[in-house]
């Protein structure tokens, strides 16, 4: 997904921009560019390809104390040098980088062309540089030109703008696409993601939708779209630059899978109460009476976040006995949902910036819903929008496929379910059982990680299959869905997930020696039913890889994970599937951390 970085200060901007762009590479992109301004000129370089290709064409004497950079992920127009950002106005005075989508770009382009403006690229973004360029001559400030230009724009944007007539100044604006300011010593940064600026500063300010900021070396001012100045309190990001290093692992994905004993421990830290066997979740901002008042829980999130929400819904139903279900936020927001006062809404997002989830939260808030967030990125848009919530403290997730955020989200749900259960009918003994089970997780995850070699051998055995079926019952079903998701997104092997109970209602027709099945078979009250399903697959000559708490004769291969409390088992059952997908993708030579067509954080519709 597109990335923005901007710098103004006493250092040379170009190396800082290139370093920032490198930090954004993990989000996925197809071209990169930058513009640097000094007292004499505005110069740009842009290329189709990697940031390293851009660095290779930036001359050593590319001097200037302010500039903007961009990694582009093509939406309007193919990946090419010309379509890469920054885009300039006709007089080559203004340069703009843009994340998001300008919905009325065609209409604006026609209007500008009728005024004699010649476009260079096929992008929607280029209308912004021309709009600002044609306005800036009539305004006293760049900020006013940007504000006026944005008034005619329909769509989403995070933008950074420089003007060759004002070398020490950058204007940034946000509507639906994140912009964060970084405050340095006599220098200012801006980026679409803190990853780009964390090497230089941890003091940050998030822009809200509709806000615009003027950055100079000695500070910044923020304004609403109607030019009222806003007061912003900077906060300190607790992530460190080192979190973005690969730690000696071949891929970030493997690093993040391996971090899970620590990340799960961090999600739990300080939140379990041994005296009353409850969870301390101050961030929920709810007293026990309020926590008791909900009659239903509705969970929303996208992709893997949604699957972790399905695990969450089961935990809440089992431990708190409140009806709970999960739905993709991307569907929820479009179906004019009925919002009830006695329903607790929970939104999940690792990045905190997923547009569909944010839009769903905003719709809920408009209708008076009470929304909690389970979010990894502190201060992100979804976190700011929610009434309260639980931060994961899993550290930044760099690889596109979610792993550690998934398990930490499931753990956060166990804590919420414990909280909601203990203010209702969950007994202290059951509360204790869950607390003890949660405490065991980090060590048990370590045990699973020791099986990496065994799982790698299995991944190599099955990686050649044209497709795989993943099945699970009740608690095992979201695990199966997440397993299929991991496999398809990083190895590009087709994978379907089905409730094991549904197999005989259709998909059994697919079973053959060519379509192996990964079966999630925990030791729970459904074990016998699951073993019967394995028999049915076996009878159709289907090969079976079973993931569970024991081996079974019906399975060709087994991965055995440590047993925890039944309600918590899905968390552990997920981890071998992450390792399996990782090694299948490596065996197939895939770009594991940056799978094709995908972006880490989907900040567009």
Nearest distance from residue 396's CB to ligand F6R, in Å?
A: 11
CB of 254 to ligand F6R, least distance (A): 14
The residue number with the shortest CB distance to ligand F6R is 303
Determine the Cα angle at 574 with ends 569 and 580, to 5°. 140
Verify binding: residue 401, ligand F6R, rule CB under 6 A.
yes
Contact in structure between 202 and 192 (CB atoms under 8 Å): no
C-beta closer to ligand F6R: residue 27 or 46: 27
Tokens found for residue 589: 């030579």
Nearest distance from C-beta of residue 559 to ligand F6R, angstroms:
20
Beta-carbon contacts of 169 under 8 Å, excluding residues fewer than 6 positions away, are 8, 66, 142, 162, 163, 214, 215, 216
- Within 10 Å of residue 528's Cβ, how many Cβ atoms? 8
Give yes or no for residue 260 binding ligand F6R (CB under 6 A): no
By beta-carbon proximity to ligand F6R, the closer residue of 217 and 305 is 305
Closer to ligand F6R by Cβ: residue 303 or 548: 303
Among 31, 330, 601, 603, binds ligand F6R (CB under 6 A): 601
Nearer to ligand F6R, 86 or 373 (CB): 373
Hunting for tokens 């490198």 — which residue is that? 22
Judge whether 2 counts as a catalytic residue.
Answer: yes
* 407 binding ligand F6R? (CB under 6 A): no
Q: Is 214 in the site for ligand F6R (CB under 6 A)?
A: no
CB-nearer residue toward ligand F6R: 164 or 351: 351
Q: Which is nearer to ligand F6R, 121 or 354 (by Cβ)?
A: 354
Instruction: Identify which of residues 544 and 584 has a Cβ nearer to ligand F6R in the complex.
Output: 584
| Contact residue for ligand F6R among 489, 524, 557, 593 (CB under 6 A) | 489
The footprint of ligand F6R on this chain (CB under 6 A) covers a number of residues equal to 15
* Whether the Cβ atoms of residue 117 and residue 95 lie closer than 8 Å to each other: no
Binding to ligand F6R (CB under 6 A) within 467-486 occurs at 485
Spatial CA neighbour of 188 closest among 347, 20, 335, 336: 20
Q: How far is the CB of 158 from ligand F6R (least distance, A)?
A: 16
Whichever of 354 and 533 has its CB closer to ligand F6R, that residue is 354
How crowded is residue 587: how many other Cβ atoms within 10 Å of its Cβ?
16
Nearest to 155, CA basis, from 135, 136, 177: 177
Q: Give the C-alpha separation, 444 to 565, whole Å.
A: 12
Q: Find the shortest distance in angstroms from Cβ 210 to ligand F6R.
A: 22
- Tell me, residue by residue from 493 to 512, as one string, x for binding to ligand F6R by CB under 6 A and - for no binding: --------------------
Question: What is the closest distance, in whole angstroms, from the C-beta atom of residue 350 to ligand F6R in the complex?
Answer: 3
Torsion angle of the four alpha carbons 401, 600, 348, 264, in this order, in degrees rounded to the nearest 10: 50
For the purposes of burial, counting CB atoms within 10 Å of the CB of 124, is it exposed (0-12), middle (13-18) or buried (19 or more)? buried
Instruction: Please report the beta strands in 18-63, taking only residues with DSSP state E, as ranges in sequence order.
Output: 31-37, 42-48
Cβ proximity to ligand F6R: between 66 and 402 the closer is: 402
Look-up of token digits 């989200």? 409
Other CB atoms within a 10 A radius of the CB of residue 591 amount to 12
Q: 288 to 347, contacts with ligand F6R by CB under 6 A?
A: 302-305
* SS3 state of residue 495: strand
Q: 88 forms bridges with which residues in the sheet?
A: 95
Interacting residue with ligand F6R among 177, 402, 407, 603 (CB under 6 A) = 402
Q: Answer yes or no whether residue 177 interacts with ligand F6R by CB under 6 A.
A: no
Find the catalytic residue in 46, 255, 563, 600.
Answer: 600
Extract the tokens encoding 399. 């690889």
Q: Report the residue from 349, 444, 574, 603 that binds ligand F6R according to the rule CB under 6 A.
A: 349
25 binds ligand F6R (CB under 6 A): no
Q: Does the protein bind ligand F6R through residue 357 (CB under 6 A)?
A: yes
Select the span of 19-27, 348-356, 525-533, 580-588 touching ligand F6R (CB under 6 A): 348-356
Transcribe 371-412 into DSSP letters.
EEEEESSTT-HHHHHSSEEEE-------SSS-SHHHHHHHHH
Joined tokens for residue 227: 């030019």
Measured between alpha carbons, how far apart are the two ends of the chain, in Å? 12
- Secondary element (H or E) of residue 126: helix 126-136
Q: Under the criterion CB under 6 A, does residue 577 sit at the interface with ligand F6R?
A: no
380 binds ligand F6R (CB under 6 A): no
Find the binder of ligand F6R among 452, 465, 602, 605 (CB under 6 A). Answer: 602
CA dihedral 209, 212, 213, 214 (to 10 degrees): 170
Nearest distance in Å: CB 406, ligand F6R? 7
Residues marked as catalytic: 2, 600
Residues that bind ligand F6R (CB under 6 A): 302-305, 349-351, 354, 357, 401-402, 485, 489, 601-602
């Amino acid at each position: 997904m597109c990335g923005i970085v901007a710098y103004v200060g006493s250092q040379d901007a170009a190396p800082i921009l290139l370093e920032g762009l490198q930090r954004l590479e993990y989000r996925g992109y197809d071209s990169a560019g930058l513009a640097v301004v000094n007292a004499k000129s505005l110069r740009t370089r842009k290329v189709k390809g990697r940031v390293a290709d851009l660095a290779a064409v930036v001359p050593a004497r590319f001097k200037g104390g302010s500039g903007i950079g961009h990694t582009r992920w093509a939406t309007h127009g193919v990946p090419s040098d010309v379509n890469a950002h920054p885009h300039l106005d006709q007089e080559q005075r203004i340069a703009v980088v843009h994340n998001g989508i300008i919905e009325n770009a065609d209409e604006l382009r026609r209007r500008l062309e009728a005024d004699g403006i010649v476009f260079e690229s096929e992008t929607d973004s280029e209308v912004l540089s021309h709009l600002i360029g044609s306005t800036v001559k009539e305004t006293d400030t760049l900020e006013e030109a940007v504000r006026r230009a944005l008034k005619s724009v329909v769509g989403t944007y995070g933008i950074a703008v420089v003007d060759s007539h004002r070398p020490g100044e950058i204007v940034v604006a946000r509507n639906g696409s994140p912009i964060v300011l970084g405050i340095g010593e006599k220098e200012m940064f801006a980026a679409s993601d803190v990853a780009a600026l964390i090497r230089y500063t941890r003091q940050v300010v998030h822009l809200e939708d509709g806000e615009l900021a003027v950055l100079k070396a000695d500070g910044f001012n923020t304004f609403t779209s109607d030019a009222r100045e806003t007061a912003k309190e900077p906060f300190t990001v607790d992530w460190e630059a080192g979190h973005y290093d690969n730690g000696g692992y071949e891929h970030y994905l493997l690093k993040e899978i391996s971090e899970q004993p620590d990340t799960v421990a961090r999600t739990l830290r300080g939140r379990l109460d041994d005296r009353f066997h409850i969870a301390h979740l101050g961030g929920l901002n709810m007293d026990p009476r309020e926590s008791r008042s909900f009659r239903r829980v509705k969970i929303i999130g996208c992709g893997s976040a949604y699957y972790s929400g399905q695990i969450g819904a089961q935990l809440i139903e089992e431990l708190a006995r409140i009806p709970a279900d999960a739905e993709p936020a991307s569907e929820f927001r479009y179906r004019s949902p009925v919002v009830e006062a006695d329903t607790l809404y929970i939104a999940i997002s690792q990045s905190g910036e997923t547009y569909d989830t944010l839009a769903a939260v905003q719709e809920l808030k408009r209708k008076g819903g009470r929304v909690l967030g389970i979010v990894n990125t502190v201060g992100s848009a979804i976190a700011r929008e929610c009434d309260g919530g639980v931060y994961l403290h899993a550290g930044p997730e760099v690889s596109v496929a979610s792993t550690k955020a998934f398990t930490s989200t499931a753990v956060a749900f166990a804590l919420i379910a414990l909280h909601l259960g203990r203010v209702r009918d969950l007994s202290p003994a059951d509360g204790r059982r869950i607390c003890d089970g949660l405490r065991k997780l980090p060590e048990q995850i370590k045990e699973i990680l020791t099986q990496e070699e065994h799982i790698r051998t299995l991944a190599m055995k099955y990686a050649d299959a044209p497709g795989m079926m993943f099945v699970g019952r009740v608690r095992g079903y979201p695990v199966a869905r997440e397993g299929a998701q991991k496999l398809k997104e990083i190895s590009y092997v087709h994978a379907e997930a089905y409730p094991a109970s549904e197999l005989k209602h259709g998909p059994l027709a697919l079973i053959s020696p060519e379509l192996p099945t990964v079966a999630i078979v925990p030791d729970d009250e459904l074990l016998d039913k699951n073993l019967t399903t394995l028999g049915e697959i076996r009878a159709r000559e289907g090969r079976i890889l079973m993931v569970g708490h024991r081996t079974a004769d019906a399975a060709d291969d087994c991965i055995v994970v440590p047993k925890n409390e039944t309600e918590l088992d899905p968390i552990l059952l997920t981890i071998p599937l992450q390792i399996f997908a990782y090694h299948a993708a490596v065996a197939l030579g895939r770009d594991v951390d940056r799978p094709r067509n995908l972006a880490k954080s989907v900040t567009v519709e």
